[in-house]
Every structure is written in C-alpha cells, then in structure tokens.
Amino acid sequence: MQPPDRRPRRLRRTPALRRAFAETTVPASALVLPVFVAADLDEPVPVASLPGVFQHSVASAVRLAEDCVAAGVGGVILFGLPAVKDPVGSSGWDPAGPVPRALEAMRAAVGEELVLWADVCQCEYTDHGHCGPLDATGQVDNDAAVEGYVRDALAYAAAGADLVAPSGMMDGQVAAIRRGLDADGAAHVGVVAYAAKYASAFYGPFRDAAGSSMVSGDRAGHQLDPANAREAARELDLDAAEGADALMVKPALAYLDVVAEARRRHALPVAAYHVSGEYAMVRAAADRGWLDGEAALSESVLSIRRAGADLVLTYAALELARGATR
C-alpha cells in the first residue's frame, strides 16, 4: 500500500494539539444565562421540564448573578413572572415588578461586572398568554403590543438594564423602542433584536418556566414559519435598519443555516438562543444514560458558535463557563 501523501491526523494526535488548532472556541464571556424571576417567591422553585433550572426570587436571582460573575459568564437575560396578569400585560412595565426589582438588586450587587439583559414581551404578563393585547379577531394587535414593549423597555432601562431584547416579533418594534429609549434619556441602553424568531416546537419547557402558556391559539401569526429562510433574512435586514445594536436568531440548533446567513449578511453582533427544548432533550437523554450530557451540551453550543454566533443564550451557560475555567 502506498503511504498517504497528506496526514491531517498529525494535528489531532493529542489534546494539546487539538486545542492549539481548534478553529472555534466557547469563551465564558460569550455565554448568556436566562433567568426567571417571580414576584411571589421566597426561595427558588425547580422547573420540572428544565432540569437544573429554577424560578427565582429576587434574592436568589442576585446570588445566581454573583455566581455568573465568579465563573466569567458574559451576561444574564431576565424573564418575569408577575403576581397579577391582565389583558394588556401591564405588570411588564410596573417598576415594582419582578424584572425591574431584580435588575436594581443585581446592579447593586455586581456593579458593571455582568451585562444585564431584559427580555421585552408581554406573553408572561397577559392573562391569555399572547405577546400583546388581542384585537377583535383574536390576533395580537401589533401597534398596541409595540406601545407596551416601549413601556417595558423604559422600565427596564430605568432599573439598570444594559440591553433590552424585544422578542415579540411585532413589526416596527425595534424602531419604536429605540425612539422611546432615546427620548427618555436612555440612549446608552442597547437593543438586541430577536430578529429571526421562529414559531417553534422547541419552546415548550420555557412556557412552563415563564408561565406563558396560551389559553388558546398559537403564535404562528407573528413568529416566522419554520419553512422560511429568505423571510428570516428580510427580518434581519429590517431590524438592522431600524437601529438594532445586535441581532438574534431563535431557536439556534434547528436554524444554524439562519445563524450563518445572519453572520454573512451583517457586521452587527449576532446572538443565538439555545432554547429550552434543545437543552431539555439533552438533559432528558443524559438522565437516562443515553448521552454524556455535559459533552453534548458543550458540542451543541460549540456548533452554534461555529455557525457564526458571537453570543449564545443557553441554560447551560453557568456549567459550561465553570468547565471552561477549570
């Protein structure tokens, strides 16, 4: 047998060689941890469908933020579970609500050592579970929802958020929030647009964690059709033109082509959300001994980075960051 002329295995022979020639890495600073903060909790409550994830009190959320700083995690993104819900989601902009209170407490505890994000949507705050007030046909009223998002963003900016992240997929939401922040003296607060957010089957555990299940209907009327990639490109372009500081694709793993296209089209930072279903599948398989959970989660997030994401929102952020610093 003629020996091969090329031996690529030379650079894969040892762990040190593999580390030296790795094309993609996952630094802890690129990870963002989703955090659920409830108005009426004194202690953390585990989320059954998201092993290792909890609904937090403000105090326990602050402790989690301190853990993130110690591990080098880049940021946290807050979701609120209010004490009271109504048809328009007014608890979302209540300065005494769970997210503003948590933002203020986290900022006091960790200063500028952690980037504080706040998700902007009404699904956790409406009594019907949709992303804003409903019109007479039962569809979300786009412009009324956007007015609520602006009020949310202003409340979160006043409480200390570095970034607000509108996730409702309403037309014009980024431009309206940018104008609102600028007019209110919060020009320093960035907007991370959930620019390509799909009507995905992978959100189920999140809705348990956030208490955002819908009484009826679905979100297919405003979130992207999973069949469409060119439409996602248009949404990315629109949000960039409206003044987004960064663009997000959600979910991540099932839409790596969209992540890669976002990276190709835009010089803005690109984030991708490794969503609850993508995380929970690995956890469920690991619990049954079918997968090495830590390795599978690490590989999943690595693939999202390889596709072009600068930042990855993932429920595994803290454990992956701790592993990276060991």
- Which residues face 274 on adjacent strands? 314
Residue type, 190: G
Tell the burial category of 171 from Cβ atoms under 10 Å away from its Cβ (0-12, 13-18, 19+). Answer: middle
Question: Please, which residues have CB within 8 angstroms of residue 38's CB and are 6 or more apart in sequence?
Answer: 45, 55, 56, 57, 80, 81, 98
Tell the burial category of 21 from Cβ atoms under 10 Å away from its Cβ (0-12, 13-18, 19+). Answer: exposed
Classify residue 240 as left (phi > 0), alpha (psi -120 to 50) or beta.
alpha
Question: Please, which residues have CB within 8 angstroms of residue 234's CB and are 6 or more apart in sequence?
Answer: none
Is 85 marked active-site? no
Q: Is the bond preceding 51 in cis, omega lying within 30 degrees of 0? A: no
Q: Select which of 56, 85, 128, 197 is catalytic.
A: 197
Q: Select which of 128, 178, 250, 263 is catalytic.
A: 250
Could you tell me if 169 and 144 are in contact, meaning their C-beta atoms sit under 8 angstroms apart?
A: no
Could you tell me if 87 and 136 are in contact, meaning their C-beta atoms sit under 8 angstroms apart?
A: no
Phi, psi of 48 (to 5 degrees): -60, -40
Is 197 marked active-site? yes
Helix, strand, coil percentages, rounded to 5, for the chain = 45, 20, 40
Tell the burial category of 110 from Cβ atoms under 10 Å away from its Cβ (0-12, 13-18, 19+). Answer: middle
- Residues taking part in catalysis: 197, 250
